[in-house]
Amino acid sequence: MNETIRLGLLRLCDAAPVILAQHEKMFSAAGLQVALSVEPSWANIADKLSYGLLDGAVMLAPLAMACAAGLRGRQVGLSVPMNLSSNGNAITLSISCAQAFAEGGISALAAVKRLRLAVVHGYSTHDLLLRHWLQEHNIAPDRDVDITVLPPAEMVGSLAAGAIDGFCAGAPWGEVAVKAGIGFIAMRSREIWPDHAEKCFALRNEIVERDEKGTIKLLSVLLAAGARCAVPEGREALAKILSGPDYLDLPASLLAEALDPEAGGPVFSMPYPDAREGVRMAREMMRWNKAPAAILDAPSWLYRVDLYEAAGGLVPEKNEADSEVFGVALKK
């Protein structure tokens, strides 16, 4: 690629592979010119992708499907050639809710007061995870609680101000609330959907079509960066990089804790762009009237396993359980 590739991201731990590749000059070593743009919200990411102000981004898979299907704003052709992270989200509640939650869980808490809960975007894994969790406890998300949208970096301030009672967001924002003494982790996303795909890497189709070889080279760098992010011994060094003012601008010690997958942090070792994960999210989007039935077709053309394999990505072995999502058989 002779052109500069503009990649968008938010201040989140699961942007680590992209940040590491830029900081360690892995892109430039591969002959790629990449510029990172730290955006304030997922809406900014989506809009800039739609209007060509970004060429690619660390992205929410449901939002990528929504953008590509024309469900929000201007429709844009996108490809998702790899997964960047799995797990890593948390439902964090205000410390004022701690006693009621400890005594009877979310059901008891919702019976005491009408909760106002925030998610990072209407088309997000976080929204689907939160809704699924609430419904499992016989709480109707669209009737019994209020769900609002806030950028991840605004969650903690809103919780401190009492504007919300809780939020579902990616690391490190739950940990930030805990360290500040204003919140507690009520549920990790891996406990709702074990090993769920979280952030993906999305590229505008015109970039892929204009330079497929360059795209494959870009993916190879990100696969290598993701593998480095997955090594436990490198976690403290990675946290120090992410803590920089140009990136997450938070204490390295806090980020090191937030990056620990054993404690619920993001997992960087599952980069395969699994369309079945897309189908799982598409079904949940339909369940909550976020998308029409046609969204079920989106993963088949959005997820680009061909590019992933061409970049050297490994295809995981399948097992019998892989043919079902939430107990619903998938087409073979």
pLDDT computed for residue 73 by the predictor: 87
3-state secondary structure of 7: strand
CA 185 to chain centre: 18
pLDDT the model gives residue 247: 98
How many whole angstroms separate alpha carbon 312 and alpha carbon 209?
19
What are the pLDDT digits (tens) for 155-182? 999 999 999 999 999 999 999 999 999 9
Per-residue confidence (pLDDT) for residue 299, from 0 to 100:
96
**Exposure b/e, 299-319, CB count within 10 A at least 16 = b:** beebbbbebbbbbebeeeeee
Mean pLDDT of the residues in the chain? 94
Give me the amino acid identity at 260. Answer: D
Q: Tens of pLDDT along 300-322?
A: 999 999 999 999 999 988 654 44
Structure tokens belonging to residue 76: 């844009």
Q: What is the DSSP letter of 74?
A: S
Report pLDDT digits (tens) over 224-250: 999 999 999 999 999 999 999 999 999
Exposed/middle/buried for residue 12 (C-beta within 10 Å: 0-12, 13-18, 19+)? buried
Task: Report the side by side order of strands in the sheet with 89-94.
Answer: 146-149, 116-119, 166-170, 89-94, 183-188
Sketch out the chain's domains with CATH numbers: 4-86+197-329 (3.40.190.10), 89-192 (3.40.190.10)
Residue type, 115: L
Backbone φ, ψ for residue 202 (5° rounding): -115, 140
The predicted model scores a pTM of: 0.94
Give residue 322's region: left, alpha or beta (phi > 0; psi -120 to 50).
alpha
Among 228, 281, 322, 234, smallest CA distance to 59 is for 281
Rounded Cα–Cα distance for residues 266 and 195 (Å):
10
Q: Does pLDDT of 324 surpass 70? A: no
Confidence of residue 40 (pLDDT cuts 50, 70, 90): very high
pLDDT at 317: 81
Residue 18's pLDDT band (cuts 50, 70, 90)? very high
**What pLDDT, in 10s, does the model give residues 188-211?**
999 999 999 999 999 999 999 999
Are 228 and 271 a contacting pair, CB within 8 Å? Answer: no
Run of H or E including 123: none
**Per-residue pLDDT at 331 exceeds 70:** no
Q: What is the pLDDT of residue 300?
A: 95
Q: What is residue 332's predicted lDDT score, i.e. its pLDDT? A: 28
Q: State pLDDT tens for residues 246-296.
A: 999 999 999 999 999 999 999 999 999 999 999 999 999 999 999 999 999
Please give the pLDDT value at position 322: 47
> Is the pLDDT assigned to residue 326 strictly greater than 60?
no
- 48-84 residue pLDDT tens: 999 999 999 999 999 999 999 999 989 999 999 999 9
91-146 pLDDT tens trace: 999 999 999 999 999 999 999 999 999 999 999 999 999 999 999 999 999 999 99
